[in-house]
Amino acid sequence: MFSENYKKTGCIEVICGSMFSGKTEELIRRLRRARFANQEVAIYKPATDSRYSEVDVVSHDANSITALPINSPAEMLETGVGVKVIGIDEAQFFDNSLVDVVKFLAGRGLRVIVAGLDMDYLGNPFGPMPSLMAIADDVQKVHAICVKCGNLALHSHRLSKEQGLVVLGEKDIYEPLCRDCFNKVRKR
């Protein structure tokens, strides 16, 4: 799968934050810069996330980049030999096997850029994101603006009454809130 002569200079970068904070926008920006530098890029997203597109990673601002929808992190191990940079969007929707896959790919010399929600709608750590943040070479936490008070938002407050952990949605279902406003809303 990979040449033994491959220079091992891999790294793991994590972009995390609440909904509407610009995580996907930042992921797309970094991947486009890598392509501009003539680096081969492979981009993955969960097949279950088809909100905007079946095959594209799309930001809330409608910027997009073509990706390969996958059902399991293990599918990333089929990445071609010439690839130097791997982008992963909506990482929180994958299971914890993503952590070992990311470590393996970085250990083989790849730059792995992961974007995802760090917390679920209840304010708890979400999926493999805490473990990915712990093993990352670099973590960038981006923030939305609280729709109630204008402070930096770190929570994705669910407006609907649905109880499932994963409920795909947009501004009709979620709003970004700061810690104080989130705590006030949760106490109601």
Kindly name the residue from 13, 75, 78, 90 that is annotated as catalytic: 90
CB 135 within 8 A of CB 111: no
In the residue annotation, 90 being an active-site residue is answered as yes
The 3-state secondary structure of the chain reads CCCCCCCCCCEEEEEEECCCCCHHHHHHHHHHHHHHCCCEEEEEEECCCCCCCCCEEECCCCCEEECEEECCHHHHHHCCCCEEEEEECCHHHCCCHHHHHHHHHHHCCCEEEEEEECECCCCCECCCHHHHHHHCCEEEEECEECCCCCCEECEEEECCCCCCCCCCCCCCCEEEECHHHHHHHHHC
User: Residues with catalytic annotation?
Assistant: 90
